A and B are shown apart, each in its own frame.
Chain A
Amino acid sequence: MSSLLFFMAATGVIAGAIGVVTLSNPFYSVLALVGHLLSLAVLFLLLRAEFVAAAQVVVYAGAVMVLYVFVVAYVGDEEQALDGGLTRRPRARSADGRKLSGALFAGALLVELLIALLGSGLKAVEGAGAPYAPGPRTFGTPAYIGNLLLTRFLLVFEAASLMLLIAAVGGVVLARRRGGLDEEEDDRDRLTPLDILRPRGTGTMVEGVEGLALAHARGAGDLQEDNHSRAGGHAAGHTQRAHDTQASGGGW
């Protein structure tokens, strides 16, 4: 019974992995990875890792894959669009060479890994593992894992939680709408009420450096220029900026 279940789950795992690599649409790749993860959870259950199997299904196949599906739906598949047009022929030839060399490297890696794992002469690899007796607090149950995480591996647990926090903040900073990587939205030319209502000679930095008369002449000029550009050319400036972003093709 367990060997039948193993072969079914292993077939699902390998088929899902091959599907992820070979399917051309990224959305189908994500779905193949979901199938792969569910089959892998069955293998984890066969290896008596109950908590890890449950976490795999809930966290990986649930949350992370939903994130992937959202990003695939947002970005879309531009791969087919990029393949068309004038650059089709050299791109196809380089893709063939890359696939051949990649397959050679992966095959060599597989042979090497199989020699290292199975040809090592370890006798325990041929057995079914350590003796196992079912019970509420035995190997692999949530109580067992929780006990280990909060006693022996407490430092690792806290470091992992801190890393998750940092990754969440980093994801928000990378993907937010303004700022971050975009330098086009500049805060310097934003008007505040103080710029208009402030009397002369209140000791700002500009007055200290340039003198009273010069600073106020320059400030009045800036204000007029700002008002003019805001009233007249806002829409034109916006389209110009979008055009610049497209034409430069990326400056990062």
Chain B
Amino acid sequence: MSIAWYLAVSAIVFCTGAFGVMTRRNPLVVLLCLELMLNGANLSLIAFSRMWGNGDGQILAIIVMTVAACEVCIGLGMIVAIHRRRLPIDVDELRELQG
């Protein structure tokens, strides 16, 4: 299979994740869609790494996975804190920062 097929799949996954981030209201699902976008980027990184026969893209993909794990940790901690304060779990209702 040529590299172009992998790049097409990564573009489709990225756009699906972007659609989910813009339309869903549950912050848990927004985080999941963010993971989808990061995975699309990872797939294109690894495809380009294969294209050049060079390992730098794979290292970058591993670092992206680390950043995603950190983001999940902080995001889920925030969701648990929101739940503890009995605020609605809804990104439309959480608008105190708008001023």
Q: Residues of A with Cβ closer than 8 Å to B?
A: 2-3, 6, 10, 13-14, 17-18, 20-21, 26, 29-30, 33, 36-37, 40, 43-44, 46-49, 51-52, 55-56, 59-60, 63-64, 67-68, 71-72, 74-75, 77-79, 82, 95, 98-99, 101-103, 105-107, 109-110, 113-114, 117-118, 124-132, 139-140, 144-145, 148-149, 153, 156, 160, 163-164, 166-168, 170-175, 177, 180-182, 245-246, 249-252
User: When each residue 22-56 of chain B gets 1 if its CB lies under 8 Å from chain A and 0 otherwise, what string results?
Assistant: 11111011011101100100111011011111111
- Residues from chain A with a CB closer than 8 A to the CB of B63 are 156, 160
- Residues from chain A with a CB closer than 8 A to the CB of B1 are 2-3, 6, 46, 128
- Residues from chain B with a CB closer than 8 A to the CB of A180 are 81
B61 and A49 contacting across the interface, CB-CB below 8 Å: yes
CA gap between A51 and B55 in the complex, in Å: 11
B23 and A98 contacting across the interface, CB-CB below 8 Å: yes
| 17 A-B pairs (CB sep. < 8 Å) | A13-B9, A17-B17, A21-B36, A37-B39, A46-B1, A52-B61, A75-B28, A98-B23, A102-B22, A106-B19, A110-B12, A117-B44, A128-B3, A148-B56, A167-B69, A175-B76, A182-B85
CA gap between A40 and B36 in the complex, in Å: 11
Query: Contacting A17 at CB < 8 Å: which of B16, B25, B42?
Result: B16
A39 to chain B, nearest CB (A): 10
- Residues from chain A with a CB closer than 8 A to the CB of B69 are 59, 63-64, 164, 167
What number of residue pairs across chains A and B have CB atoms under 8 A from each other? 250
What is the number of residues of chain B that contact chain A, defined by CB distance less than 8 Å? Answer: 76
A20 and B72 contacting across the interface, CB-CB below 8 Å: no
CA gap between A68 and B79 in the complex, in Å: 11
Query: Contacting B72 at CB < 8 Å: which of A68, A103, A125?
Result: A68
B17 and A171 contacting across the interface, CB-CB below 8 Å: no
A117 and B85 contacting across the interface, CB-CB below 8 Å: no
Known contacts A175-B80, A181-B85: A117-B8 contact under CB 8 Å? yes
Known contacts A49-B46, A49-B50: A145-B32 contact under CB 8 Å? no
- Residues from chain A with a CB closer than 8 A to the CB of B19 are 21, 102-103, 105-106
A33 to chain B, nearest CB (A): 5
Known contacts A106-B19, A164-B66: A124-B61 contact under CB 8 Å? no
Query: Contacting B8 at CB < 8 Å: which of A36, A114, A153, A160?
Result: A114
